Every structure is written in C-alpha cells, then in structure tokens.
Amino acid sequence: MLDYEKFQTMSKEEYFKKYNVGIRFLFGCDLNQKNETEMISLRVFLPKKHFQEYKNIDIFKTMDLFKETLLFKGLTEQSIKIDFEKREIVMPDFFIKHDIEIIPYFTQGGEKEEELSKEKFFELLKQNKIKELNYLCFLFFGSFCKEEYEYFYNQELLK
C-alpha cells in the first residue's frame, strides 16, 4: 500500500534531495469515453539510479535511450490496482522490485490539469467504475518537486 503520510511529513529539503528528477511517468485513465479527453492520473517516480548511465546526455536523448530498455517496456505494461474498500492504491510487484514509487499527486484534466484531493480522486474512480490505472505517458518538467511538495503541504493543511 502507498504511504501517503511519508510525503506529507517529509521536509522540503528531503523531498527535493530524493525526488528532484525532471521526469515523471503518468498512470491513469480517460474518464470521458467520448471525443474529449478527460484524464485522471497520478505520478510515478523512477529513482535517479535508473538514469545514471545517461547523466551526461540531454533529457530528450536520455528518454529516447531509456524507451529502448526492458525497464521502460515493463513499466508501460504495468497496471496500478485500486482497492476501493480500503481506499488504497496497490503497488505492483514490478514497482517494488525496481524501487519505483507512486507519488500521490492526483490530477484531473486534459490540456489543463486540476489538482484533486485523495478523496475526490477515489470518488471519481468509483463513480466511473475504474479498477486500475494504466501507463499514459511521461512528462518532462523542471519544477515537479516544487509543485508536488506544495500539493502535499496544502493537502496536510486541508485535513
């Protein structure tokens, strides 16, 4: 199961030291089965050790090379199961084996993302009868840590 409290109790320095990698992998689903895209997703983090061999290469070339690896292929084949009874996200064995973490940063939207609380995220999943989240894409962004840390800080204040 996912340790939400770990993220909410981490200091800013600890969070940035561990998670300051400008790549995130999105897992989620499309809520709107029509022509419009209405995604609901969470972020997945791969530790820096998985990118060490590419450290002197620009991020775009790094991802081109990383997409050729068995780790990436395995990652894209994973599904994150949802336990509605416990309102929990079940960590795939593949994630555990490769030290891959789920970052409980919940969003909804297509072109413009909106942050969601854990409660709203599970409510939307349940309403739409979604039992698992699948690989959607990867993102490059320089400020993931700042955005995520502020989200966790604000979620703690809202409790």
Q: Could you tell me what percent of the chain has a pLDDT over 70?
A: 92
Q: In 40-143, where does DSSP find H-type helix?
A: 59-66, 70-76, 93-97, 118-127
Tokens representing 46 are 């791969």
Q: Which amino acid is at 132?
A: E
pLDDT in tens, 97-128: 999 999 999 999 866 778 999 899 999 999 98
156 or 67, which is more confident: 67
Is pLDDT larger for residue 159 or for residue 39? 39
Please check the confidence at residue 75 and state whether its pLDDT lies above 50: yes
pTM above 0.75, yes or no: yes
Q: Has residue 35 got a pLDDT over 70?
A: no
For residue 28, the tally of other CB atoms under 10 A from its CB is: 22
